[in-house]
Structure 1
Amino acid sequence: MKFKSPPVNSLSLDFLTEFCISLEKLENDRACRGVVITSAIPKIFSSGLDITEMCGKSMEHYAEFWRAVQEMWLRLYSSNMVTLAVINGSSPAGGCLVALSCDYRIMAENPKYTIGLNEAQLGIVAPFWFKDTFVNVVGQRVAERSLQLGSLYPAPEALKFGIVDELVPEEKLQEKATAVMAQWLALPDHARQITKSMMRKTLLDRLVAHREEDIKNFTSFVSKESIQKSLHMYMEMLKKKKS
């Protein structure tokens, strides 16, 4: 599955909806046992949540958008398929969450590409299920420091801290992904799936149980005047960078 939503594969409401539908179709196809998630756009895996979805919109829109973000994570994190992220570009914030939610992460060996949950830099807070997904991958201390600082790590550091599982030269990403997928698919599906469910069930259940509360917290937070101001300032900064 290749992300192709120019210019930077932002996770908009439409994008998230289409992504969830695509995952559901693959999940329902018994012949499909694994999925490789990558980008069709050079130098970017995904820039994360689309900030325009969080600026100057109604409370109803914020709630609909956040429900779609939740749905994407619930489907990907709980998938019965082998999920392999091939990170062929930078992957901040929500893009990092997509990668963290997969079973295995291969990143292009390019120090210009960065990855991390950098929400703090935007003046927003990573929700508990972003945080817990990160902790489950890298451990408490690395996650705590990274989240407070809103750190984005170049590929070599991302490997050092365990955010990604291995680095591969860009031209060999597809070849490596095929080899890794073959290794995972060599195992009996039921054993792998039950093990994955055991490892992830507690966190999945926690969001399901608190889903409405999480949506309420997000809409209340993002609609605050100070947060709207921060997001608008960040968008202006991005516009200046582009120009």
Structure 2
Amino acid sequence: MNAYVQSIDHGRIRELRLARPPVNALDPALCRALIAGVEGAVAEDMDAVVVSGAPGMFSAGLDVPHLVSLGEDRHALQAAWGAFFGAARALAGLRIPVVAAITGHAPAGGCVLSLCCDYRVMARSPDPKRPFTIGMNETQVGLAVPDGAQQLMRRVIGHHRAERLLVAGAMVPDEEALRIGLVDELVAVEEVVPRALAWLEPLLRLPRAPMLQTRALARADLIRALDPEHLHLDRFAEGWYEPDTQAGLRALLARLGKA
């Protein structure tokens, strides 16, 4: 266990629970903690990993107030984005199966992390009028979605549907996310981790080497999508300072009460 990620073992499966209240915002420290948790699971020869969050919130995505606080420090901004995509690559490149236990809302970076996993179990909101949502809402606050991140969504729900959601910055309600295949299961919040573990059980009973080799081949495109050459973080850092982006970020901070 470390300050931001709790490690909980379920037999040979390790749950890595994001634990940075109140919304598991992904600052560099949390991203590094997640990478360390993934590396620790491999080093200790665990059979699989489950990544979970808090009830009602998987992760709110990158820590925008932290990013804004960096001001004109482009190097620090690019490093922060690099830490996030390092965590995404750690999940995508994990040589053992990994399931996203999406315990609530998963906007932006939270959605990206879930798409790096083999399987996604999402919580159904207890209030149908206020569903949990998942998606990449970057354009809503004036940010472009890097091509590598776009590819993650395309491989799961198809090019045309992904284009519509990404360009609009749409957040998809839980039931709709299940219908379009953005998530694989929808269950009560208290059942999210148990269902993630249950999905892994038959997979882990298969002959290990052939299963892992087949999985590696099937996920090669996922790893390529997150190669730095497809992310262009230098370009993204420059775009951060565009007037439209800065206006969108100020509006977001105002809504968060941090302006």
Give the TM-score normalised by the residue count of structure 2.
0.85
How far apart in 2 are the matches of 1:121 and 1:96? 15
Structure 1 residue 203: Cα displacement: 4.5
* Aligned twin of 1:162: 181
| Contact 1:8–1:47 under 8 Å retained in 2 | yes
Give per-residue Cα distances to partners, 1:60-109, cap 9 Å, x unaligned: 11121121122111111111121011111111110011111110011112
* Aligned twin of 2:57: 44
How far apart in 2 are the matches of 1:224 and 1:127? 16
Q: Aligned pairs, how many? A: 237
> Helix, strand or coil for the counterpart of 1:75?
helix
| Contact 1:66–1:218 under 8 Å retained in 2 | no
| Contact 2:107–2:135 under 8 Å retained in 1 | yes
How far apart in 2 are the matches of 1:175 and 1:233? 38
How far apart in 2 are the matches of 1:64 and 1:132? 22
**Which structure has more helix as a fraction of its residues?**
1
Measured at CA, do residues 203 and 34 of structure 1 come closer, stay the same or move farther in structure 2, by a change above 3 Å? closer
For 1:110-121, what aligned pairs fall within 5 Å after superposition? Answer: 110=125, 111=128, 112-121=131-140
Q: Which runs of 4+ in 1 moved over 6 A?
A: none
Structure 1 residue 18: Cα displacement: 0.9
How far apart in 1 are the matches of 2:221 and 2:114? 20
Letter in 1 for 2:103: N
The structure 1 residue matched to 2:39, chosen from 5, 10, 24, is 24
How far apart in 2 are the matches of 1:206 and 1:159? 23
Measured at CA, do residues 91 and 34 of structure 1 come closer, stay the same or move farther in structure 2, by a change above 3 Å? same
* Aligned twin of 2:120: 105
Instruction: Give 5+ residue unaligned stretches, structure 1.
Output: none
Measured at CA, do residues 169 and 64 of structure 1 come closer, stay the same or move farther in structure 2, by a change above 3 Å? same
Q: Does 1:89 align with 2:104?
A: yes
| Contact 1:13–1:53 under 8 Å retained in 2 | no
Instruction: Give 5+ residue unaligned stretches, structure 2.
Output: 1-15
* Aligned twin of 2:199: 180
Give the TM-score normalised by the residue count of structure 1.
0.91
Measured at CA, do residues 148 and 42 of structure 1 come closer, stay the same or move farther in structure 2, by a change above 3 Å? same
The structure 2 residue matched to 1:123, chosen from 135, 139, 142, is 142
Q: Percent identity of the aligned residues? A: 31
